[in-house]
Amino acid sequence: MPDNQDGPSSTGPIDAEILDRIAPHLSRSARFGDVQARPEYAPNAVVADYDLGYFPSGVTRAYLRIRWFETDDFSIHYSEQYRTGNSWECRWDRHPNNHNTREHFHPPPDAPTPGEDEDYPDEWQDVLATVLTRLDERIEAFWNE
């Protein structure tokens, strides 16, 4: 169903094969202290916790939660959790919806809906490279302030 109709169509089932490829891909990066493919608390996702050595001491957790669907739709949610109880969130999405084009970004600090229309590469590896580059810039900014 096109984006301009009354309701979004389904993203379809989770692509477990892609998730099982994403997890070891992320595990090879020094950025992450822990990567779990489809953990019990998130069986439809890969959850990658950043090594907190990359962050100032006020950050208590930083992670990616990646869901990939057989339709090549996806949701990549990034969150930083702070000692103050606050968080900083953003999300890269590709899915049918009523609030943006199929490909869009929900910007920080709170990932509001609607987001900003975007264009993403076709291959999952290229999508992840795009996301990780943007997050690397975020992390570098902590140390350049």
Model confidence pLDDT, tens digit, residues 84-120 = 999 999 999 999 999 999 999 999 999 999 999 999 9
Domains of the chain: total:
1
11 belongs to a structural domain: no
3 belongs to a structural domain: no
82 belongs to a structural domain: yes
Cis peptide before 43 (omega within 30 of 0): no
Among residues of the chain, what percentage have pLDDT more than 90? 86
d(CA 59, CA 55): 6
| Buried b / exposed e along 88-109 (16+ C-beta atoms within 10 A) | bbbbbbbbbbeebbbbbbbebe
Residue 95: which domain range?
Answer: 16-144
4 belongs to a structural domain: no
Residue 67's pLDDT band (cuts 50, 70, 90): very high
40 belongs to a structural domain: yes
7 belongs to a structural domain: no
9 belongs to a structural domain: no
132 belongs to a structural domain: yes
pTM of the entire predicted model: 0.90
Q: What is the pLDDT of residue 143?
A: 87
